[in-house]
Amino acid sequence: MARTTTHFLPAPEVRKQFAGLSKDDENERLEAAKGLNLALRNVTENRDETVKYCLIRLIKGLTSANDSSRIGFSLALVELLYSLLDPKDPLLTDLPFRSVVQLIVEHTEPTQGLTKSEERGFSFGRLFGLKAIIETELLFTKESDISNWQSVLTQLVVLAQKKPWLRESCCLVIRNAVLAIESSQKELVKVTCDELEKSGLIKSSDGIGIWVALIEKHNKTLERLNIRLQKRSSPFEKAYLQTLAKILKESEGKDEDGEKLAQKGSWNARLSWVWDSIFEFYTSDTPQKDIASFPEFWQAVVNDGLFSNGSSDERKFWGFLVFNKAISAFENKDTISILFSPNLMKCFINQLSSPERYLHKAAQKSLRVIKSKAENSPSIASTVLTCLLSRNGSPNFESVTKTKVIESLFSCADEQGQLEIVRFFKSLILEPAAEDTKSIEKSRQWAADQLLSMIRSSKSTPKSSYVTEIINIFVEYGHFNIKSNSSADLAFSATTQATFRTRLSSCLSELLQNSDLKSTVWSAKAVLFIKQKREESADEFATTVDESIEEEIEKVFKIVSKLDKKTPTLGSRRYAFALMYSLLLLQLFNGEPDAMDMLQDLHLVFEKIGKERKEKEKKKDKHRHKRQKHEPEGQDHDHEEEDDEEEQDSLEILIELLLGFLAKPSVLAKKMSQTVFKSFADSLSASALDSLLRPLVVEETQEGQRELFDIEDEDEVMDDADSEEDDDGEDSDVEVIDVEEDSADEEDGEDDEDEDEDEESSDEEEDDDDDDDDEPLDEETRKLHAALAEALGTSKDSNASDASDSDESMDDDQMLLVDEQLSKIFKYRKTPNKRQQRASAKESVVNFKNRILELLEIYVKGDGNCDEKIKVIVPCLEAMRKTGNPSVRSNAHNVLKSLTQSNKKKSPKDKEDDTTTTIFTDPSSAFEILKQIHQESSQSHHQPQQSREHAASCSHCSLYVSRILVAGDKSWIERITELYFTKTMVNWMTDAKCGTQPALFTDFVTWAGTIRKSLTTATPALSGEKVEITGKSGKSDKKRKRKNK
């Protein structure tokens, strides 16, 4: 088509508006478009030529390579066309509509000699020009001519066929036009369908998008006119799914009639807009007849289409994009589960498993979309996790893909969803996917570990609903023989039951540390669930007990039920007893040898304290009654003193019980001891406190271990080795292993020893099963073989027949001689390694000291009497000086630091009210402790690190005691100063071996300077008068001066 040329120029006020249409600023482009439209309406001369000039200029601007120009000129063209075609207020001109279309086609036709980029610009210009006509929405009014739409539609279809890379954009413009057509304009709908059918565009993926728009907006019109595209009423008919899959996959193929399907020029990594239309169709509530359900569509088009075994990586890449779009579009749980189809999950797991996979990043993007969906829709998190780990997924999803999804998805789920996830893992435990026994045990251990990690998770706050469910699972599968209707191969082995019991201990230990849930005695809940299960008798209890122990168990059940009936308050004695009783009963079920004896001791404590409490309440009532009658009360005071003594005796037994728990290599025992100790810390007597302090000065050797744990002497044990049973030796080995594990766990930051012990034992069993005859032997085993060969008179290379002949030729004397030699050999084998024994003994003593020091830190932070608190100072200082372990030294230092800073944490009001923590009731005893502190300071080590910590602690503790003494009685200043300078300093100056550090004196002088003003300005006090001493250091005094200024 030849282009018309014109040399007409409009008025300057019109021409100057075109410059603003190319600006990058959107507001400037908008103002320029409005200005051009206003300028044209103000034109009175040569309006037709001016309008035509503007049209041509705007159309040519659409072909510009500048994106801003193309957008600006398109916007102005829409405004101009709307003014020309507006039936209410048209811009008067003789230019017909058909001429507008002809101008667009004429001035967007590329000429010869253009580059490919310039040709693309002309094609885009035509598309934008035709789109501008449609955006006026004046083609679909009642007054508009049908031929106008038909001419525009024809040009769009021709452009789509001529330029396959523009087909998607052209079809999107047609689709938007179809949605703009009113339902009453049947002729426009028929023209559109005829053009799509005639051109074959309906056989393309973009044509499917137009078809879906026709169904959504004009479905009734299509039914009335009996219009059927591709002989179908809908592209989602079941019989058309195979063809639809080929079309959306855009692979080479033919339709049902054998005609070739329309294809694009090249593959595009961006997903077509058609999928948005498809998902909108399936999420709408519009009823449709004879169409495939969404599961059928997904199976045919996505699973068997894009993710088929023969699909290329490019099509699978589309498949991941489709999956991302679908999971974001749907909210229904059933629909979400359909998306995780077999072929998709197979490809998903394979691509995630290695960074070298071609679609690894695409799979990672899908995983991020899954997590994001779970965060935004917590109700579907459980469904997503179930799909990843079962059905078409894999229980080993995390290990295969090297990802972490279980914890993140669990934290995203709502409370109901979390409960569903826990029950899903319960189903995996009951019916694991594995086949052989070892795989079943591993699968169940993995599931137990996942349940435990849900308790430990830092990403979510544990809820009591699913915590109760997890505890019940551990209890049920750890303490009962489950009767399953399935095959005998799925029965729970003893190893698996031990695993669940260990995980229960780890779970209870974690809950004791959780600030949100530790108000509930979860161990009591576990014990009561055991009681309930035993009464139901549906499953056999795994632990066999005799009648005497059964009576004890029933007694503890009653006590725990009574204590838990009214929810115990955290920190109360009721809470402490419920915790101890339930944990001791669990230890009894686990086969702990000393659990029964500890229960008997706990009965004694519980009965005395409970009885004393009742008697005290009665005596209070009686005392109140006597006061009303003015009767003498001296006799009652005597009884009260006796009751206090009995209570202190009970508390001393309780402390011994707690020390027994601390000796166990278990985090649960440690946490329980700390929790119980907090309930009784403020009531400790001197004897009970002494029980805690005594182990701190024990040597960290085998002798110290024997002293603490009543272990027999090694020589005595070896003398009786011949008469011991084999199982006794095994018990000894287990105890040594426990000590080693406890030490290792302490160094690693107090990880869960119970869990580690189970995992190590599990690994050892696997190693035993996998051992090979060809595996090289260690040095000790080779020595044993050599000794056996020498005793039997054989060599390593002797064959079986030679050995047999040798055995037959032995007489009785030779056999006795061989028996003696074998006894010596095996006695030597029973002798443990000395170095290992010493290391193990040291570790056990060190760990025991550390746990006691943690209790003491709780004690000094409490509200107890300061006369009793300062008794921990000297043993802690001695422990710091004597120990060779940094952790003991550090923990002892922390105890003393907490003691000396305990008053600083209180508010001024509390300090005024709390006289028991700031004044000594027995200052003479406190001064004796102060002298012991100075004596201890003279024995500081000469090693820099040990000396620095020990000396600093001595100085701080000395000042702490001195400050309280002076606060109670000013007359103590003289004796304290005499101790510092007349005795300690003289000793330091005259004795070369004295380890006292100069900081002891400088710290005292600094403190004395801070309190000097309050002592000198106050009214002279008589001996024995209390003086308030608040100074701490020179620095704080300066702060007060600055504040006063």
Long-range (24+ apart) CB contacts under 8 A made by 539-545 are: 539/476, 539/480, 539/481, 539/482, 539/483, 540/480, 540/481, 540/483, 541/479, 541/480, 541/481, 542/478, 542/479, 542/480, 542/481, 542/497, 543/479, 543/589, 543/591
Type of residue at 287:
P
pLDDT of residue 260: 60
Whether residue 95 contacts residue 78, with contact meaning beta carbons closer than 8 Å, is answered with: no
Type of residue at 514:
N
State the Cα angle at 715 between 710 and 720, rounded to 5°. Answer: 90
Residue 313, token pair as written in the block: 């990586």
Strand partners, 229: 232
pLDDT of residue 328: 93
Separation of alpha carbons 20 and 33, rounded Å: 8
Buried b (16+ CB within 10 A) or exposed e, 912-922: eeeeebbbbee
Whether residue 455 contacts residue 470, with contact meaning beta carbons closer than 8 Å, is answered with: yes
Cα radius of gyration rounded to whole Å, the chain: 45
pLDDT of residue 790: 59
Q: State whether residue 481 is helix, strand or coil.
A: strand
Whether residue 937 contacts residue 953, with contact meaning beta carbons closer than 8 Å, is answered with: no
Cβ neighbours, 10 Å, residue 96: 11
Largest CA distance in the chain: 142
Separation of alpha carbons 391 and 383, rounded Å: 11
Separation of alpha carbons 917 and 201, rounded Å: 91
Phi, psi angles (nearest 5°) of residue 541: -70, 135
Buried b (16+ CB within 10 A) or exposed e, 136-170: bebbbeeebeeebbbbbbebbbebbbebeebbbbb
Whether residue 377 contacts residue 331, with contact meaning beta carbons closer than 8 Å, is answered with: yes
Whether residue 500 contacts residue 448, with contact meaning beta carbons closer than 8 Å, is answered with: yes
Residue 146, token pair as written in the block: 């049908």
DSSP secondary structure code for residue 141 in this structure: S
Tell me which residues of the chain have a pLDDT lower than 70: 1-7, 85-95, 252-266, 286-288, 484-489, 610-648, 710-832, 903-918, 941-946, 1017-1045
pLDDT of residue 591: 87
Residue ranges of domains in the chain: 6-138, 916-1044
Q: What is the DSSP string of 590-649?
A: TT-TTHHHHHHHHHHHHHHHHHHHHHHHHHHHHHHHHHHHT---HHHHHHHHHHHHHHHH
Residue 841, token pair as written in the block: 């003994």
Strand partners, 254: 260
List pLDDT tens digits, range 426-444: 999 988 887 788 889 999 9
